[in-house]
Structure formats: C-alpha cells, structure tokens
Amino acid sequence: MNRTEQAGVPLAAAGLAVMGLVGGCSAAATSGAASVAAGHGAAPGSSSASPAASSPVSGPAAAAAKAVAAAQQAALVVNQPQARKDVTLASCAKDGTGWTAKGVIANPGDADARYTVVVSYVDAHWTVLARATTTVTVAAHDAHSWQTTGTVPTSAAVTCVLRGVART
C-alpha cells in the first residue's frame, strides 16, 4: 500500500467517505463521491443531483453534501477542446435576476452542429455560485449567439467562466 492509499482506497475517496459517514451524507452520495475522487466519473446510476441534497441537513453535514454534489456535477461537465475553439464568451453582466453570460458560436464545419455550452458563475475566491447550460444548433459555416443566466445575487461580484463546450 502506498502513501496515497488507505486500505486500498485513494485517500481523497477515503476522506470523502469519512465526511459522509461522520457528516451525515447518504451512502449513495458517499459512494458517488468516492467514485469521482477515484477518477471513475459519476457512480453508476447516479444523476447530476446529489441524493444528499434531498435530505434536510445543516451545518458541517450540509457543507459535506454540497461538496459531494459539486464533485459529482463537475465530473459530468464535458469539454471538447476542438469544439471550445468555436465558442467565445463576449460578456458577463448583471441583469434583473442575476448574471448573464453571452457569446457567439462559429461553426466551421460542413454540417449543422449542436453545441452545449456550460458557464460557471464564480466569486472572487473562484467558488462556483451557479452553473448554467444552454444548447444551440448552428448551421454549417454560420455563427449564432448564445447566452446563459446564473441565479446569483446581483450584489455579488461575479466572473463568468466558460466551463465546457461539447459539439454533436
């Protein structure tokens, strides 16, 4: 057993599992976090919503459940470097209900393409406050605008980050 493992489990996974046992996270959330921490992606049969999110918890247990949910969600964001080159993030501005990111997708291909764009709305410490996704179909050799809105208090200082782009 090497220093990064504890009883054959990577320490990151063991730590999340302990948080789940001590903090009150459900077994499903804990096993999903262990799977994500071990580099295996989301646990089989899991969804992007954390099972722990549906149980009423507070304090350290709520923080642990939120961390598990964020780890599972981050594992689900697809980013294709070739598709990312087609997308620009032109603006990030407050609007009436939160923050809106806008940009343009230019499809250089010979066929229509469907793009999924994921934007994270982060604070000054790079903590993700919200994440939004949009899907846009762009004709071959054409460009199309896109936008997402994050439900974040307009009083917060926010940066919009192009988190992932997928093209199908």
pLDDT tens for each residue of 30-63: 333 333 333 333 333 333 333 334 446 677 777 6
Query: 65 and 122 share a domain?
Result: no
Number of structural domains in the chain: 2
Average pLDDT over residues 94-117: 95
What the block records as the tokens of 53 is 């999110």
| 137 bridge partner residues | 114
Band of residue 110 on the pLDDT scale cut at 50, 70, 90: very high
What the block records as the tokens of 13 is 């996974």
Of 76, 97, 113, which residue is a domain's last?
76
Between helix 27-37 and helix 60-76 the angle, nearest 10°, is 50
Residue 38 belongs to domain spanning:
5-76
What the block records as the tokens of 40 is 């295996």
CB 88 within 8 A of CB 107: no
What does the pLDDT look like over 2-22, one tens digit per residue? 433 333 333 343 333 333 333
Q: Is the pLDDT of residue 102 over 70?
A: yes
**How high is the pLDDT of residue 31?**
36
Average pLDDT over residues 64-81: 69
Query: 44 and 97 share a domain?
Result: no
**How high is the pLDDT of residue 1?**
45
| 156 bridge partner residues | none
Whether the CA torsion 106, 48, 70, 150 is positive or negative: it is: positive
Of 76, 104, 139, which residue is a domain's last?
76
Average pLDDT over residues 94-114: 95
Band of residue 96 on the pLDDT scale cut at 50, 70, 90: confident
Of 22, 48, 76, which residue is a domain's last?
76
**How high is the pLDDT of residue 52?**
37
- HEC assignment per residue over the chain: CCCCEECCEEHHHHHHHHHHHHHCCCHHHHHHHHHHHCCCCCCCCCCCCCHHHHCCCCCHHHHHHHHHHHHHHHHHCCCCHHHHCCEEEEEEEECCCCEEEEEEEEECCCCCEEEEEEEEEECCCCCEEEEEEEEEEECCCEEEEEEEEECCCCCCCCEEEEEEEEEC
* Alpha-carbon dihedral 93, 96, 99, 102, rounded to 10 degrees: -60
